[in-house]
Amino acid sequence: MLQSLNSMPDFIVVGAGIAGLRAAIELAAAGPVLVIAKESLRESSSEYAQGGIAAALGEDDSVDLHAQDTLAAGDGLSDPEAVRVLVRSAPAAISELIEWGAEFDREDSRLALGREGAHSRRRVLHAKGDSTGSEIARTLFRKAASLPAIEFRSFSAVTDLLVADGEVAGVVVCDEASRQALAIPARAVLLATGGLGRIYRVTTNPDVATGDGVAAAYRAGAELADLEFVQFHPTALRLEGAPPFLLSEALRGEGALLVNSAGERFMPRYHPLAELAPRDVVSRAIVMEMARTGASSVFLDARPLGEEMLRRRFPRIYRTCLAYGLDLAREPVPVHPAAHYAMGGVWTDLDGRTSLPRLFAAGEVAATGVHGANRLASNSLLEALVFGARAGRAMRELAGTPVLTGSRPAEATFPSTTHEQLQSLAWDHCGILRSGPQLERACAVLEAMTFAPAHRPARALFELRNMQTVIWLIARCALARRESRGAHYRTDFPGKNPDFQKHSRISKHHDVRFR
């Protein structure tokens, strides 16, 4: 049964992470805003972001250098104009956060700046050592909660978009308690649903990151871009009985080393920047080193940093490792790559507009063109902040426009598979190393699945449907890109091809094309 709310918002923001909250703050002056969270209001990828947020604030730094590093990491596919918007907006965005109460780490009275992989300068701000995302989200939530125009709704999974004559008119949510569908119309909708890492067997992402925004946008007819580019973080904890907890790249930025099972440092053999090479390079090097040595992991040796620095600079990481019997100050710890960040997503312009009128996207779910083929470390929180604000400002232009009556989506059907089977399929066929036959196999398996309706389906079934859709989209785009670039590596096409120095696009109306 499809129900409706009695009181309708002007604007809907789907997701309560940094991008969604920043957009909601920007929208509050234009009318009632409803922020919908799939789970609790504090469960998002933003909460788990350890590394930091990049901004050219150092005396030896500049926005031009930040742009150069971002473009280099993007491996030929970052949009220069989007990058310029990002880096030029960074200092003011940081100042705004501090004005709203964000407490970044300092050395004496000056902001402490760290360095991470592929950055040419120390420009990464942190909070409480390794809890930067949580601090920024806390600051934005406090600001948003102080604005009476913003209302929050938790434990409600958005399952579909309402569409009226090609324009988005609201959302459909599955209320977790009642397991009933609820239609919520609005003048405009922002997708800020985060990532898709949970489609993989090994990931640093929270359980909510099942690609819901990408899948809902695809079903509604929106254009998607660059989905083949999925970044695998090189160093997630690899220990029986422990989750793949992220060991921040900032550890290597401060001097931690990667060693193989024989205790030998190996990264200098793979790249001149060694441990500070771009993430895609480090992840592939780890996989190749494990294959060469026959080991199931490599090791991160943080002993050069010393116990005092580890406790002060990386308190959460240090405590978590200790809880699993590993002392970073006294022994190398086993690590392995894990799915971490999606560079692609719902295509947007520089103000968050998608190909569907009245639908906007910001944060990891969006493909702004900033990250290209491989995201530069610590640009993700900045992108969410900058483009969340820009999307909110653009949505304000729709204040006062009519609320459209969207058509009811067709009854949902669900694939005949399990979460674990889908995650294994994605890991084995759409992972760090790919090939044409693997990708063709993935497409064939996914396309052969049967679908059936369910009586009062729970959130897990909608997630299953979204995962099946997103894995198929990634496989289609990866199969079409017959080259290796950034985070996309084809063993059957190991080199770059200038014919593919373009963005992939796909929608339900057309198969993959490059533009």
Q: Whose structure tokens read 């742009």?
A: 67
Query: Which residue, 375, 389, 301, 346, is CA-closest to 28?
Result: 389
User: What is the spatial distance between Cα 112 and Cα 491, in angstroms, rounded to a whole number?
Assistant: 41
Q: Which residues contact 167 (CB under 8 A, 6 or more apart)?
A: 356, 357, 358, 404
Indicate the burial class of 146 (C-beta count within 10 angstroms; 0-12, 13-18, 19 or more): exposed
Amino acid at 311: R
CA angle 398, 402, 408 (to 5 degrees): 110
DSSP per position, 283-319: HHHHHHHHHHHT-S-EEEE-GGG-HHHHHHHSHHHHH
Q: Please provide residue 368's backbone torsions phi and psi, each rounded to the nearest 5 degrees.
A: -85, -15
493 touches 484 (CB < 8 A): yes
In three-state form (DSSP H/G/I as H, E/B as E, the rest C), the secondary structure along 337-403 is EEEEEECCEEECCCCCECCCCCEEECHHHEECCCCCCCCCCCCHHHHHHHHHHHHHHHHHHHCCCCC
Q: Whose structure tokens read 């080991």?
A: 295
121, 187, 198, 279: the catalytic one is: 279
By 3-state DSSP, what share of the chain in percent is helix, strand and coil, each rounded to 5?
A: 35, 20, 40
Helices and strands (H, E) in the chain, number of each type: 14, 25
Give residue 31's region: left, alpha or beta (phi > 0; psi -120 to 50): left
* Whether 198 is catalytic: no
Q: Whose structure tokens read 């250098």?
A: 65
Residue 94 tokens, joined:
């940081």
| DSSP assigned state of 33 | E
Task: Supply the angle between the helices 18-27 and 380-395 in degrees, to the nearest 10.
Answer: 30
Query: Which residue, 365, 364, 363, 366, is CA-closest to 349?
Result: 366
Dihedral sign of CA atoms 469, 410, 349, 391 in order:
negative
Q: Could you tell me the CA-to-CA distances from 480 to 224, 330, 473, 504 in Å, in that order?
A: 14, 47, 11, 8
Q: Which residues are catalytic?
A: 279
